[in-house]
């Protein structure tokens, strides 16, 4: 099992140069994922914003953002709201996924990116999952030269934010 997961994480990464040769619209990825996550009793909203073009592998970035949305869906009660924001800083494009679900206690937050780590085992068991989604997210963004952050106030607001290097505007 551990070997299998290590191979998956390796596939999620791969060479940075090769990864960063393509231009990827983060807004387009977010729009597509909002559509594919629509379901009755669930509110998934993409906030307005400008197009943001990152350098990377669109399939892998889509996998990363999709994992964040899947978590928000899984850890938010029915009728909850999930908000996606696409933006940028000086050098990075950002995708932020916020939910108003159960959240993550402060003592668990530093560990959620570890392989197989799941907050509150008893509760988590009923939602299923292996605890690898966020390791894949971390592996993908770091392979792109980016990073991922998390903030949570349990039962109020939980935000995961990924940073991906912007594509150069030249050429
Ligand atoms: N949006 C969120 N709200 C509350 N808890 C979260 C959220 N995202 C992640 N977590 C916590 O972090 C843990 C690790 O998340 P991760 O995506 O790696 O695993 P998983 O969702 O449990 O399983 P898998 O993604 O492999 O199906 C989760 O088990 C959950 O406890
Ligand atoms: Mg997950």
pLDDT in tens, 94-133: 999 999 999 999 999 999 999 888 887 545 556 778 888 9
Does residue 103's CB lie within 6 angstroms of at least one atom of ligand 1? yes
Evaluate if residue 165 carries a pLDDT over 90.
Answer: yes
* 152 to 5, 8, 60, 126: CA distances (angstroms): 27, 28, 25, 21
Domain segments of the chain: what residues?
2-165
Q: Mean per-residue pLDDT for 148-166?
A: 97
Compute how many other C-beta atoms are within 10 angstroms of the C-beta atom of residue 158: 24
Which of 155, 158, 163, 159 lies closest to 61, judged by CA? 163
Q: Is 72 in the pocket of ligand 1 (CB under 6 A)?
A: yes
Lowest mean pLDDT among 17-26, 46-55, 67-76, 97-106: 17-26
User: Is residue 101 within 6 Å of ligand 1 at its C-beta?
Assistant: yes
DSSP string covering 7-25, please?
HHHHHHH--HHHHTTSEEE
Distances from the Cα of 59 to the Cαs of 50, 96, 123, in angstroms?
A: 21, 18, 31
pTM metric for this prediction: 0.92
What fold, for 2-165? Heat Shock Protein 90 (3.30.565)
Strand-by-strand arrangement of the 92-99 sheet? 43-46, 81-88, 92-99, 157-165, 147-153
What is the radius of gyration, based on Cα positions, of the chain?
A: 16
Q: At 138, which helix (H) or strand (E)?
A: helix 133-143
């Amino acid at each position: 099992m551990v070997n299998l997961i290590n191979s998956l994480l390796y596939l999620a990464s791969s060479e940075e140069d090769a990864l960063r040769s393509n231009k990827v619209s983060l807004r387009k990825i977010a729009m597509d994922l909002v559509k594919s996550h629509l379901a009755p009793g669930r509110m998934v909203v993409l906030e307005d914003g400008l197009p943001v073009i990152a350098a990377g592998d669109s399939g892998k970035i889509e996998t990363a953002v999709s994992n964040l949305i899947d978590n928000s869906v899984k850890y938010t009660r029915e009728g909850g709201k999930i908000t996606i924001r696409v933006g940028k800083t000086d050098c990075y494009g950002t995708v932020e996924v916020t939910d108003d679900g159960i959240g993550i206690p402060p003592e668990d937050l530093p560990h959620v990116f570890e392989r197989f780590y799941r907050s509150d085992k008893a509760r988590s068991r009923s939602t299923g999952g292996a605890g690898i989604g966020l390791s894949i997210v971390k592996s993908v963004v770091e392979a792109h030269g980016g990073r991922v952050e998390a903030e949570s106030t349990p039962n109020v607001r939980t935000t995961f934010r990924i940073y991906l290097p912007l594509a150069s505007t030249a050429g």
